[in-house]
Amino acid sequence: MEFPTNLRYTSEHEWLLIDGDTATIGITDFAQSELGDIVYVEVDTVGLDLNKEDVFGTVEAVKTTSDLFMPVAGTIIEFNPALDEKGTNDPTLINTDPFGKGWIVKIKISDPSQVDSLMNADEYKNLIGK
């Protein structure tokens, strides 16, 4: 199981990669392994300003559906076209490459100070008992 040290993590199992005032968000390797085979991702919040912990979409696996939560406040600026039904529509990228091609959205961060409240890789590993 991977825990990239250049990412920040939430207790809801999202990760955040920061690049200036934008960030890429996905779910962790642990989360995708707990969900099982992902069959559909829905994000209908592109263009919306959301607060920290707001639901920005859902991930549907064979066994369950899980909400996706904003790690920090911001505006959703892009949904990964590889996961979109208008794109290649391959939600399994989240299972096979959760920290790379399986990213879910990109946001413009509206409150950078909220990043400080997110966990680093070691703190996240402790949360999930790894």
- Look up the CATH architecture of domain 8-110: Beta Barrel (2.40)
For residue 40, give Cα distances in angstroms to 32, 77, 90.
13, 20, 8
- Per-residue pLDDT tens over the stretch 18-61: 999 999 999 999 999 999 999 999 999 999 999 999 999 999 99
Measured CA distances, 24 to 4, 10, 69, 79, 81 (Å): 14, 14, 13, 10, 13
Q: Is the pTM of this model over 0.85?
A: yes
Segment 59-87, tens digit of pLDDT: 999 989 999 999 999 999 999 999 976 65
What residue segments make up the domains of the chain, in order of their start? Answer: 8-110
